[in-house]
Structure 1
Amino acid sequence: MPTGRVVGIIKRNWRPFCGMLNQSQIKEATRHLFTPADRRIPRIRIETRQASTLVGQRIIVAIDGWPRNSRYPNGHFVRNLGGAGDKDTETEVLLLEHDVPHQPFSQAVLSFLPKMPWGITEEDLKVRADLRHLCVCSVDPPGCTDIDDALHCRELENGNLEVGVHIADVSHFIRPGNALDQEAASRGTTVYLCGKRIDMVPELLSSNLCSLRSNVERLAFSCIWEMNHKAEILNTRFTKSIINSKASLTYAEAQMRIDDASMNDDITKSLRGLNTLAKILKGQRIAKGALTLSSPEVRFHMDSETHDPIDLQTKELKDTNSMVEEFMLLANISVAQKIYEEFSECALLRKHPAPPPSNYDILIKAAKSRELEIRIDSAKALADSLNEAVLEDFPYFNTLLRILATRCMMQAVYFCSGMDSDFHHYGLASPIYTHFTSPIRRYSDIIVHRLLAVAINADSTYPDLMDKHKQSSLCNNLNYRHKMAQYAQRASVAFHTQLFFKNKGILNEEGFILFVRKNAIIILIPKFGLEGTVFFENNDKPGPRLNFDSEGPTLTVEDQHTFHIFDRVKVTISLDASNIQHQKIRMALVEPVAPFFQIPGVSVALPEPEPEAKKLKLDR
């Protein structure tokens, strides 16, 4: 094995750390050890006379130095966040630990908001397309207040269809370089936690002036296609516009309208036209090799008073979810083509690299264990073989396989077109892609709006946008903020999962083996979107005899039972609250019953969505 040693540190990455104090057992002592929440960080020695009041609290500590002869770095107490286990305190901790900017917007930022009351001006009417007569509507999750997209579909006199995607014109309110713009650029993205949203822009914009609510006039940026009934695009135009949404619907409400034959109003006709075209578009995408992957997404039902999770259920996706998604994807692709045509060196695009072949090893072995073949020579080959991998006696098998396929993928990233040559989006099977459809919650989309506005002569040139090095630096920050937002969201789901199991005692649930390791099995519980590990060894005693076959992969324990990937098992799930800072959900095997030794492993909440966010499937 290649080895090395650290000979010098170029730059220290010290930051304030959240965690808990371990009070010294020595009476009157002022020196104590602090244990960070992040297990990768060593304990820190601090001096404080407040130890007795800080025990059981979440606190912040900063490192001052690390003497070369000391086991621990030295630091100092910064501030008290609140009692460990308190929901608000733990939310603050996960935001700080994942470097999510979440302080209230400063007066300097708020000073650039439009003065109220605000309304459409004569000047707006002169320079924008007036689309208020169109039967535009939005379709979103229940309770969504930051509505940044709306749609319409109508038949033209020539028999073709006009389809429009109308996106909130956030860039009208956020001008380049001012404090509001700088704050949005720094935050990069809205962060959706369970029951809490950290806005990228102030609420006046996110939930009011930029939100495409029904029966109010709003500024939009519209992408409008003329299509035939085969969903072939005959022409595309982009325009700044004024719209008046006729309805703000949930997915369920939109689906009900489409399915109810007695409803034939303009909104319902528009939805049916959109739904029909969306199915054709999805078929075309899949034919090109676009992937349909899977993750067991769950939604918490909160108590109306305590806001604690009282129930968990798997999200049900309707046709209308897919309908909205297809047109958002199409708009993003159309805009990407336009801005790249106009600005080949400084277009902000999004790519999804193809995974290296070795990433697929576990997926190929998993399919082979059920005598099925997964082909990976192209995205289309992978998509086709996933579609064919069905077992009649095991309906959940294909979903498990797609969950594994999701784990093989690379991360999609923003980049500047002048700094890269590979534009391809592997998951969507598209040669070019960007983000245009969610400017309320993504700063990348605001930049894309500015580029598109210049491309269609709706706004003047922005100097910074024409500098590919500045654009590339911005992309780096956006990628970092997007990644940390995802981690914070997962941490929030994990914390609320712990709250859910707090008063449940021990539950018996059915699961499936997702991975087989040398000394453990990793189990997925679809009902709760939980993934947990059960180990078959003990460091203190001689462990059981284990026989791991990497080709299977299989794990045989004590020559009594062999575990295969995707085997159905039963486990107990319980909350281990013995360590208040690092509470864990434990999983232990119940069936198959076996006399061999096992250690219940720590479980993690699996979902990777933005729990209350907009439609995020397929990187749209």
Structure 2
Amino acid sequence: HLKTFVNPSVLKPTGRVVGIIKRNWRPFCGMLSQSMIKEATRHLFTPADRRIPRIRIETRQAANLVGQRIMVAIDGWPKNSRYPNGHFVKNLGSAGDKETETEVLLLEHDVPHQPFSQAVLSFLPKMPWSITEEDLKVRADLRHLCVCSVDPPGCTDIDDTLHCRELENGNLEVGVHIADVSHFIRPGNALDQEAASRGTTVYLCGKRIDMVPELLSSNLCSLRSNVERLAFSCIWEMNHNAEILKAHFTKSIINSKASLTYAEAQMRIDDGTMKDDITKSLRGLNRLAKILKGRRIAKGALTLSSPEVPFHINSETHDPIDLQSKELKETNSMVEEFMLLANISVAQKIYDEFSECALLRKHPSPPPLNYDILIKAAKSRDLNIHTDSAKALADSLNNATVENFPYFNTLLRILATRCMMQAVYFCSGMDSDFHHYGLASPIYTHFTSPIRRYADIIVHRLLAVAINADSTYPDLMDKHKQSALCNNLNYRHKMAQYAQRASVAFHTQLFFKNKGIINEEGFILFVKKNAIIILIPKFGLEGAVFFDNKDKPSPHLSFDSEGPTLKVEEHTFRMFDKVKVTISLDASNIQHQRIRMALIEPVVCFCFLDFFLLLLRDCNCIITWVSEMILTGRSQPQLFLYSD
């Protein structure tokens, strides 16, 4: 019962746990806090995950485990004990070591990363492998086409190639050719089960956890140049206004004529002296892509922004040595447009054939309340943001500019990204809302990356059945099994994103380890009751500067939620204000190292400082594309058209 003298403004909702529905005990990674009693065998273990309480364990190895990352499992939690009881499981290695910390973040985010078992490897094709006469009989022979791939430098898992040529009737033939991974991974065997369990390839800084064994991911399924490969082709006949006249899907055999980087492809397009077939194909693709992109934007496809900045990793030490700052080229967008078009075309095809069991991907519209902070932020600069539809939002963001503040629009788009919902896989027979909000598309799926996404393999199987290129798979026709598969894929994808963000956080700490104190300019991204959240664009960092303890209101602070603004002494902070801070690494807690910031300008008389690192987005922030494409080098930060 509340006493009448309690100040209502400081009351907090409270509750009591009355029952446990299901326990989620798993081994936890962390560090041992050795007892001060010399002969003690009972010690406290501090998990890396701050949400988990300390665990009491018994071990006689405490002296050897200090300073090590270890794994502990919970055995039980007595009612009268402050801590659960557990036992030592495994020593992972020295805290701070790159390999150890990578192992920890993979374990903590439940990312399957063990070497592929012999049972799995036994289902790989025997080497040397080559295309057989039987393959030639049942596939379209497209080896004569001028097909090429465009990818980041050093890419070894090449999923996709493209071609464009003029037909005799004056129209254009455009093809997207995707690695036929489903040819090598048959339903139900150990290789298929392992790929389904992993769900996705996980891209960490300087490390890749493959969904399928390397023989497939970097060799037989990689559409490298000048080798014959099996593909699944989506071919359109288009007019010169990029309107689709016919669409055709076929299993095929291709021979890529070139494996280009984005920069190399752009150089060919821009060099007027180059007249070869590859360059002509690229120019045709680029011209059509611009039309497709313009049409998508006109329909309301969102152009969002991310503050992340990828690292350049030393090839020998795997340490982050610099920040990558490369210009986003037209060829990045060119590839993106045709991958999106292929995904949409395939989604419609498999839904037309299997209305109850098509594996699709949707992006729900955000609830109106999600936009509150974005609307307030715009109003702080006398601008209006309309959120009635994706089109209205896109138009509002395009018109939201502030004179002499070019970065303002990027900041606003970063906030818009935070308002979005998570895109998810679903079974068409279990849902009625197919719309993809970010892409402004009524239907969508994933078809173009089967080397790194299991969802694409399922879509390939459905498409193969739809065109009579393969037999029917009973499990694919069961919408309940399909829905359960989607749930696992969504979970694996989410955990992969978290692991990728944790990897970036760790490498950011390594980057600042020997940098000392750095002065940098930043912008206020959020204003809280007792803090400001600062974004440092150069490093893609966010930090919170607290001006008071959360539980002890101070007369020196005045917060206006409508602004929102925070007045500290005589200075008023508001969103998007420019500030100057110092950045340094606080390594006082070896398990929970963090980036610290200190406010330099403007100067306030007092402030209690505490900081945290927010490198990528929280779980409600969409953009699979951000974590997948930026961490793999497929694209750059700054502005990008929302792509799933």
TMscore range, shorter length: over 0.9
Distance 1:8 1:569 in 2: 48
1:178-220 Cα offsets, whole Å, 9 max, x none, are 0000000000000000000000000000000000000000000
Residue 449 of structure 2 corresponds to residue 430 of structure 1: no
Residue 621 of structure 2 corresponds to residue 609 of structure 1: no
Which residue in 2 is equivalent to 1:189? 200
The question of whether the paired residues in 2 share the 8 Å contact of 1:296 and 1:314 is answered with no
Which residue in 1 is equivalent to 2:8? none
Which residue in 2 is equivalent to 1:573? 583
Q: CA deviation at 1:594?
A: 2.2
Which residue in 2 is equivalent to 1:124? 135
Residue 572 of structure 2 corresponds to residue 562 of structure 1: yes
What percentage of aligned pairs have identical amino acids? 87
Which residue in 1 is equivalent to 2:419? 408
The alignment partner of 2:504 has SS state of helix
Distance 2:230 2:13 in 1: 59
Distance 2:361 2:552 in 1: 51
Which residue in 1 is equivalent to 2:341? 330
The question of whether the paired residues in 2 share the 8 Å contact of 1:538 and 1:599 is answered with no
Which residue in 1 is equivalent to 2:605? 595
What are the within-5 Å matches in structure 2 for residues 370-409 of structure 1? 370-409=381-420
Q: CA deviation at 1:299?
A: 1.8
The question of whether the paired residues in 2 share the 8 Å contact of 1:536 and 1:543 is answered with no
Distance 1:597 1:350 in 2: 47
Q: CA deviation at 1:544?
A: 6.0
Residue 230 of structure 2 corresponds to residue 211 of structure 1: no
Q: CA deviation at 1:543?
A: 4.5
Letter in 2 for 1:604: L
Residue 191 of structure 2 corresponds to residue 172 of structure 1: no
Distance 1:35 1:327 in 2: 49
Q: CA deviation at 1:390?
A: 1.5
Distance 1:269 1:233 in 2: 20
The range that moved more, 264-273 or 590-599, is 590-599
Query: Which of 228, 236, 243 is the matching residue for 1:225?
Result: 236
Letter in 2 for 1:140: D
Which residue in 2 is equivalent to 1:59? 70
Distance 1:590 1:612 in 2: 32
Query: Which of 252, 268, 288 is the matching residue for 1:241?
Result: 252
Which residue in 2 is equivalent to 1:494? 505
Distance 1:88 1:457 in 2: 47
Q: CA deviation at 1:478?
A: 0.1
Letter in 2 for 1:44: I
Q: CA deviation at 1:459?
A: 0.2
Q: CA deviation at 1:305?
A: 2.7
The alignment partner of 1:603 has SS state of coil
The range that moved more, 5-14 or 112-121, is 5-14
The question of whether the paired residues in 2 share the 8 Å contact of 1:537 and 1:598 is answered with yes
Which residue in 1 is equivalent to 2:592? 582
Which residue in 1 is equivalent to 2:528? 517
Letter in 2 for 1:485: A
Which residue in 2 is equivalent to 1:360? 371
Q: CA deviation at 1:542?
A: 7.9
The alignment partner of 2:441 has SS state of coil
What are the within-5 Å matches in structure 2 for residues 528-547 of structure 1? 528-538=539-549, 543=554, 545-547=556-558
Residue 119 of structure 2 corresponds to residue 100 of structure 1: no
Distance 1:481 1:315, change over 3 A: farther
The range that moved more, 306-315 or 283-292, is 306-315
Distance 2:349 2:551 in 1: 64
The range that moved more, 57-66 or 537-546, is 537-546
Distance 1:122 1:351, change over 3 A: same
Which residue in 1 is equivalent to 2:6? none
Distance 2:241 2:291 in 1: 7
The range that moved more, 216-225 or 603-612, is 603-612
Distance 2:326 2:535 in 1: 16
The alignment partner of 2:316 has SS state of coil
Q: CA deviation at 1:297?
A: 3.0
The question of whether the paired residues in 1 share the 8 Å contact of 2:365 and 2:420 is answered with yes
Q: CA deviation at 1:327?
A: 0.3
Query: How many pairs align?
Result: 619
Distance 1:304 1:455 in 2: 45
The range that moved more, 257-266 or 169-178, is 257-266
The alignment partner of 2:73 has SS state of strand
The alignment partner of 1:403 has SS state of helix
The range that moved more, 276-285 or 391-400, is 391-400
The question of whether the paired residues in 2 share the 8 Å contact of 1:544 and 1:596 is answered with no
Distance 1:68 1:315, change over 3 A: farther
Distance 1:542 1:615, change over 3 A: closer
Which residue in 2 is equivalent to 1:257? 268
1:564-599 Cα offsets, whole Å, 9 max, x none, are 100111110000000000000001111112222241
Letter in 2 for 1:311: D
The question of whether the paired residues in 2 share the 8 Å contact of 1:112 and 1:180 is answered with yes
The question of whether the paired residues in 1 share the 8 Å contact of 2:175 and 2:234 is answered with yes
The alignment partner of 1:350 has SS state of strand
Letter in 2 for 1:168: A
The alignment partner of 2:511 has SS state of helix
Q: CA deviation at 1:7?
A: 2.0
The question of whether the paired residues in 2 share the 8 Å contact of 1:522 and 1:532 is answered with yes
The range that moved more, 398-407 or 608-617, is 608-617
1:373-425 Cα offsets, whole Å, 9 max, x none, are 10001110000111111223111111111100000000000000000000000
Distance 1:245 1:539 in 2: 60
For the aligned residues, what is the CA RMSD? Answer: 1.4
Q: Give the structure-1-normalised TM-score.
A: 0.98
Which residue in 2 is equivalent to 1:19? 30
The alignment partner of 2:465 has SS state of helix
Query: Which of 190, 194, 210 is the matching residue for 1:199?
Result: 210
Residue 501 of structure 2 corresponds to residue 482 of structure 1: no
Distance 1:191 1:500 in 2: 22
The alignment partner of 1:387 has SS state of helix
Distance 1:401 1:327 in 2: 28
Distance 2:117 2:83 in 1: 37
Unaligned runs of 5+ in 1: none
Which residue in 2 is equivalent to 1:135? 146
Q: CA deviation at 1:615?
A: 4.3
Q: CA deviation at 1:605?
A: 1.9
Distance 1:313 1:152 in 2: 30
Q: CA deviation at 1:609?
A: 1.9
Distance 2:288 2:451 in 1: 27
Residue 420 of structure 2 corresponds to residue 420 of structure 1: no
Q: CA deviation at 1:3?
A: 5.5
The question of whether the paired residues in 1 share the 8 Å contact of 2:205 and 2:313 is answered with no
Distance 1:509 1:309 in 2: 19
The question of whether the paired residues in 1 share the 8 Å contact of 2:505 and 2:613 is answered with no
The alignment partner of 1:495 has SS state of helix
Distance 2:63 2:13 in 1: 48
Letter in 1 for 2:581: V
Q: CA deviation at 1:313?
A: 3.0
Distance 1:361 1:498 in 2: 33
Distance 2:227 2:474 in 1: 34
Q: CA deviation at 1:53?
A: 0.2
Distance 2:553 2:341 in 1: 59
Residue 491 of structure 2 corresponds to residue 455 of structure 1: no
The question of whether the paired residues in 1 share the 8 Å contact of 2:530 and 2:550 is answered with no
Unaligned runs of 5+ in 2: 1-11, 618-625
The question of whether the paired residues in 1 share the 8 Å contact of 2:545 and 2:609 is answered with yes
